[in-house]
Structure 1
Amino acid sequence: MRFPQLRVFTWVILVINAIFLVWVIGGIASRPNPDDPAANVGTAIGVGLVIGLWVAADVILGILWLVTKPRTRDCPACGRTIKRGQMTCKSCGYDFAQAARFLQGDKQSPPDLA
């Protein structure tokens, strides 16, 4: 079984989310006096602002991730990269259209993955 390769931008998004998580945990852990109600309110406001910024950044990064998707796909039979929209693999002859028809319930046999 071959696992899909993650794009570099996916790793960037994961790193940014980890930074935000550390920022929130650090903000909660660094409150000066847990028994002081004013300190608790200030911590809650600060953490709330960081979470709001986190959500806004994730929305923007998610849209950018969707817009910058690759224009190629991997052939499941040979693993070579082909252009999206191409219906057969030039190197092994795998038929993507036949595979799609089989997945939709057509009675034909599945495409050969050899």
Structure 2
Amino acid sequence: MALTNCKECNSEISDKAFDCPKCGAKLRKPERSFFGKIIKYTFIVFNLLMLLWFVTGVGSAAQTVDAAASEAEQAGAAIGTGIGAMLIITIWVFGDLILGIMTLLTRPKK
């Protein structure tokens, strides 16, 4: 362990310290582990993919509803769209809960 000087108060502190114990100045920021970075980026990619899936799914289903010939086909397509949208939202919520908790548990610590 080497000693260094604080940039704010010029007191001697450990080079491993995150904050100066005397003045409280931030010296360095804790970093996520490799696994923590993987979880964080998985959380971001998951949300982007779910958004893309939701927008394209509902958009293509809306085209199907408009192209349906009879009122019964339109009603069926609308019901199917609603069920599909709720399924996507349910998967999205549960996935976000799981990945969000994992992201919080793998955040950097001092």
The interval holding the TM-score normalised by the smaller chain is 0.5 to 0.7
Unmatched 5+ stretches in structure 2:
1-29, 69-73
* Runs of 5+ consecutive residues of structure 1 not aligned to the other structure: 72-83, 85-114
Rg comparison, structure with higher value = 2
Question: Which amino acid letter does the alignment assign opposite residue 16 of structure 1?
Answer: F
Q: Is 1:19 equivalent to 2:57 in the alignment?
A: no
Query: Identical aligned pairs, as a percentage?
Result: 35
For these two proteins, the number of residue pairs brought into alignment is 71
State the shift of 1:69 in Å: 1.5
Greater RCO structure (CA 8 Å; 6+ sep): 2
Aligned equivalents of 1:8, 1:22: Cα separation in 2: 21
TM-score (norm 2): 0.55
RMSD, matched Cα: 2.5
Residues of 2 paired with 1:66 and 1:20: CA distance? 20
Please, which of 79, 85, 96 is the counterpart of residue 41 of structure 1?
79
Q: TM-score, normalised by structure 1?
A: 0.53
Q: In structure 2, what is the Cα distance between the partners aligned to 1:44 and 1:5?
A: 42
Structure number having the greater helix percentage: 2
